[in-house]
Amino acid sequence: MEFTHLHGHSTFSFLEAIWTPKKIIQKAKELGFENIALTDLGGMYGAIAFYDSARENWINPIIGTELGFVLDINGYNRIEDVWNMCLLAKNGEWYSSLMKIVSHANQEWISGKAKFDIKTLEENNQWLIAFMWGEESWIGKMIFRSEADEKIIEIINMIQDKIWKENVFLEIIAQDELKNQNLKKINSKIIELSEKLGIKCIVNNIYQYINESDKEAWEMALAIKDGNKMYDDHRRKPKEKYHLMSGQEVFAMMIDNWYSEEQAKNWINNNNEIAKTIKIEIPMGQTLFPNYSTPPHILELYGKVKNKLISN
């Protein structure tokens, strides 16, 4: 079954995921994927390695990032009030714009979490794909708190107003809902909102490692990040499966969650259709940093220091 992961992390999502972009691509090739996305947390540090490896293996690289999102960057924001959104680049031009957003978000970070707001989204809205999903997203938080549909829809409409409406998606998380009742509540409401607002849903399991057998190593990385030991009862012990699932596994997971075959196939097809719209070409072997002229007074100061060092 053809499937495109649009949401997942590499080792560049510091201690929140394991395996390098190259290893992710190798596994994607084993699974027969034609497209795959990398959406590391708070940055795009693995983007070029991911891009190069994908192109070498005839896989279409989809580059994005997962950032903290707030309505107003200038407002008072506690870390508890910063919730995530995924952004994908549709082409090379938007890849450059995405880098600007990431740079801005990291200047505005709080407690180590990069964040951006509605205004930043509006200023860099060309060729952008945005999606929101489960417990870590803004609307997921609102659903979990049982806030009124009108408030949730207002947030969605604000985001749609800043970018092209057809480039905003809602995301179903392909994990065992019996093990995570919060996710079941959020997924169900997202489907309801999708039908009510005419917004397409995509589906992902949000990969954090490549093989099921990697889970213990991943949990060890989480423990290190949180300053815990593996024998600590309070350490993070995710029950869900976050390996790089095949299309068949994603489909089976949704059927096990009692969604219909038609629903699961539609969501998977939406992922694949998005992938077909994305074509990124990054010019390699050249410097893309802007050229800055050194101010005359700095050059003068440098000359004086240099002469003094030579005379000594």
User: Can you give the residue ranges of every domain in the chain?
Assistant: 21-311
For a pLDDT cut of 70, what percent of the chain falls above it? 96
- Asked if 151 and 142 touch (Cβ cutoff 8 Å), the reply is yes
For a pLDDT cut of 90, what percent of the chain falls above it? 65
pLDDT average, residue stretch 47-51:
96
pLDDT for position 59: 98
**Please, which pLDDT band fits residue 76 given cuts at 50, 70 and 90?**
low
With a cut of 90, say whether residue 310 has pLDDT above it.
no
With a cut of 60, say whether residue 53 has pLDDT above it.
yes
pLDDT tens digits for range 1-11 = 899 999 999 99
Q: How does 57-68 read in b/e, with b if 16+ C-beta sit within 10 Å?
A: eebbbbbbbbbb
CA dihedral 83, 146, 181, 42 (to 10 degrees): 0
Residue 198: left if φ>0, alpha if ψ -120 to 50, beta else—which one?
A: left
Fold of 21-311: TIM Barrel (3.20.20)
**pTM attached to this predicted model:** 0.89
